[in-house]
Amino acid sequence: GQNIDQPTEMTATEGAIVQINCTYQTSGFNGLFWYQQHAGEAPTFLSYNVLDGLEEKGRFSSFLSRSKGYSYLLLKELQMKDSASYLCAVMDSNYQLIWGAGTKLIIKP
Coil, helix or strand at residue 75: strand
Provide the minimum distance between the beta carbon of 86 and another protein in the complex, in angstroms, as a whole number: 12
CB nearer to another protein: pick between 42 and 109: 42
Provide the minimum distance between the beta carbon of 92 and another protein in the complex, in angstroms, as a whole number: 11
Q: Is 83 left (phi over 0), alpha (psi -120 to 50) or beta?
A: beta
CB nearer to another protein: pick between 15 and 101: 101
Residue length of the chain: 109
CB nearer to another protein: pick between 36 and 107: 36
CB nearer to another protein: pick between 15 and 28: 28
Binding site for another protein (CB under 8 A): 30-31, 33, 35, 40-45, 48, 50, 87, 91, 95-97, 99-102
Provide the minimum distance between the beta carbon of 67 and another protein in the complex, in angstroms, as a whole number: 20
Is 50 in contact with 44 (CB distance < 8 Å)? no
Query: CA-CA distance, 94 to 29, in Å (whole number)?
Result: 9
Is 15 in contact with 76 (CB distance < 8 Å)? no
